[in-house]
Structure 1
Amino acid sequence: MAQAKRNLSKALASVDVVVEVLDARMPAASMNPLFDELRQERQRPALKILNKADIADQAVTARWIEYFMDNDSLASALPMVGKSKQDVRKIVDSCRKLAPHRVDAIKPLRLMVSGVPNVGKSTILNGLLGQSKAKAADEPAITKMITRYEVNDELIIYDSPGVMWPKVDTEETGLLLAVNNAIGVNAYNVEDAAIFLIEKMLERYPGAIMDRYRIKLDNMDAVACIELVGDKRGMRSRGGSVDFERAAHLVLTDYRQGRFGRVSLQLVSDLI
């Protein structure tokens, strides 16, 4: 981690704008404090990309955009669907506004694209590059080192590694990262992560659960809900009882694949 921090700090000396890719469904939890700390030390502006906006609650995402714009004079923010070429093209234009002095081959715009694992950073980077240079995969920490790409005479892009910070500050942040598959499976309990997810869904989007699994909730708690989903899908252990772990994996996978529709697990008000 110390070496990664030194490498990032050194690279930032040659960067004009940090493009930080976040998950629109949990923007604060997917924001790495290390990147903010280093870029602010270097007084570098940031473009916060709220990726996967197509499966996030639209009204909640709009509030997060306002939050980032209001709370950091050196930051701007964009909702994004990383797989949309039209959306990705907006990134460079937005960055040019943050660094208006970098406009030609003599002073090319230099961007660093950053993000914790599984926020869709590699997909966005490949869209910026116009080809599949970065490894896009649903596994934590696929990108291992800082890579420099000369896209054209007026644009240079640095790809930073998907580095996690040494210590997660709250239990809720850790569970949000687990739900998002941003940390390795050995670092969390699958059943705890699924219970946390369904608790959030029951509180904010009960209809999404009912629509996905065609069940009635009847004021049940998260554990009972997951058991019902497992029963409905025929997930049973040898003894005939519901296989809770399999059901937990199912609800986590459905969330990660966007099968619940537009849901956001983190609100701006959660930070207050």
Structure 2
Amino acid sequence: LTQAIMLDLRKRIFLHTQRLSLEFHESYTSGRIISRQTSDLDTIRELLDGGLNELVSGLLYGGFTLVALLLLDWQSGVILVVMGIPLFFLMRWFYLRSQLVYRESRVISAQVIVKFVETMTGIRAVKAFRKEPRNDDEFGGLAMRYRDVNIRSIRLFGTFEPGLMSIASVSLALIVFWGGVRVADGAIAIGTLVGAVLYVRNFFSPLQEVAFFLNSYQSATAALEKVSGVLEEEPTVPDPAEPVDLWEARGHVRFDDVRFGYSDERVILPDFTLDIPAGQTIALVGTTGAGKSTLAKLV
């Protein structure tokens, strides 16, 4: 099922990016598209491979354990339910903080890929103009930012997991203390207390799996936001519903008051007019950015 989902996503991204207009590709670089197809989809795949199984098994196991504890000793069960309040706030804190960190991680990861792809595709220009030191500094800065945001995510999870274990230890200590008092008073048997302690330990064991799921889920959510952002883009120049066959070309090229730009803010050819009869050869001369390459692409 996971592989079928990933295959569908890869095909949809590829087909959709091909369908989008040049305006999109001028602003959304090839490196970012590669990032969507590789690292972002791999992050989603990791969640689908094991994360959902861990979540379902952990929630079911924890739920059955809590019910069994309430049936065995309702007072110990109430203590565990009350300790669920700090557990809820801890998970909510981790959820909100990790959401920001992983979003930043996906952005910087894409920037690293973009810089690498652009440098390698333009390596001739890099060599010709001796841009290696400048590119080294820029790529090194991006790599350091990516390292720093990953360290922040590791530290965040490193704070969350000990917090989870601390709540488990406090819950266990309270149940042992209150259960010991009741055993001394003869209210419950020692076997009931031992069973309650084992249930509490079993309740918190799958929560570690849930914690790992939250970690994977936040990373996958940030990646899915980037992927969905591409899929939600619409062509600015959509293909006609009923295309008309082109007539036989005769070589006569004519532009009549053409206005063209890759975006509304970046108009390359404002009110451009040109008439080239068939068989005539012309030369396009102009400064950099005047629109020579754009005109050739339009033809």
* Class of the TM-score when normalised by the shorter of the 2 chains: under 0.3
Could you tell me the TM-score, scaled by structure 2's length?
0.23
Question: Higher strand fraction: Structure 1 or Structure 2?
Answer: 1
RCO greater where, 1 or 2, for CA within 8 Å and sep 6 or more?
2
Q: TM-score, normalised by structure 1?
A: 0.25
